[in-house]
Amino acid sequence: MDFEQIYQAYFRDVFLYLCSLSANENLAEEISQETFVKALKAIDTFDGSKDIRAWLFTIARNTYYTYCKRQKIFVDRELPESAIGIQIDLIERFVDEESTFLIHKFVHDMDEPYKEIFTLRVFGELPFEKIGSLFGKSSGWARVTFYRAKKQILEYMEAIEYEKN
């Protein structure tokens, strides 16, 4: 696969991932471009033993963090409004604006790696195998971590509903 095909195949994924990290489309597009410039320069170092999308996501994440350090920006990752691939009861809560805000706030305050695993799985739509490889862990570790993050969100929302009643 030549680099043009890689760019065409994975630019959108990298862009969406960076949107989930930065919550800023313009910044995400700028860093996506920078990610592919770095990837082009380092393509000879990619050995193909891992998924190229995971490799690009790693470059994108590191480029974003470097940008934040240069700009002295606190890294602010929020859950996207259009969450995909999670249980129906969690999706239904996104319909309600107030619940959406509460979920955003809770995800923003979650500890790592739960916050990033949840974001990669829900917004980045990455399979557990690829998430695990990003962290140098197994797919089982990624699956359990995602489940725990989802459980934290559901328990938080249940507590909020209980307080309302």
What's the one-letter identity of residue 44?
D
pLDDT grade for 81, boundaries at 50, 70 and 90: very low
How confident is the model at residue 97, as a pLDDT? Answer: 57
Position 76 in a domain: no
For 151, phi and psi rounded to 5 degrees?
-65, -40
Together in a domain, 56 and 96 = no
> What CATH number has the domain bearing residue 21?
1.10.1740.10
pLDDT grade for 25, boundaries at 50, 70 and 90: confident
Q: Are 110 and 119 in contact (CB under 8 A)?
A: no
Together in a domain, 98 and 149 = yes
If you average pLDDT over residues 21-44, what whole number do you get? 86
Together in a domain, 67 and 92 = no
Together in a domain, 62 and 95 = no
Residue with tokens 């934290």: 152
Q: Which domain holds residue 43?
A: 3-71
The domain tally of the chain equals: 2
Together in a domain, 44 and 15 = yes
> What is the number of other CB atoms lying within 10 angstroms of the CB of residue 28?
22
Q: Are 124 and 18 in contact (CB under 8 A)?
A: no
The percent of residues above 70 in pLDDT, for the chain, comes to: 80
Position 82 in a domain: no
Longest CA–CA separation in the chain, Å: 59
Q: What is the DSSP secondary-structure string of the chain?
A: --HHHHHHHHHHHHHHHHHHHHS-HHHHHHHHHHHHHHHHHHGGG--SSS-HHHHHHHHHHHHHHHHHHHHTPPP-----SS--SS-HHHHHHHHSHHHHHHHHHHHHHPPTTHHHHHHHHHTS---HHHHHHHHTS-HHHHHHHHHHHHHHHHHHHHHHHHHH-
Q: What's the whole-model pTM score? A: 0.47
Together in a domain, 158 and 94 = yes
> What CATH number has the domain bearing residue 138?
1.10.10.10
Position 78 in a domain: no
If you average pLDDT over residues 56-80, what whole number do you get? 71
CA distances from 94 to 82, 121, 162 (A): 8, 17, 18
Of 71, 99, 122, which marks where a domain is finished? 71
Position 126 in a domain: yes
Together in a domain, 39 and 93 = no
User: Which is more confidently placed, 46 or 93?
Assistant: 46
Together in a domain, 65 and 112 = no
Over the stretch 99-146, which tens digit does the pLDDT of each residue have? 667 777 788 788 888 888 888 887 677 888 888 888 898 988 988 998
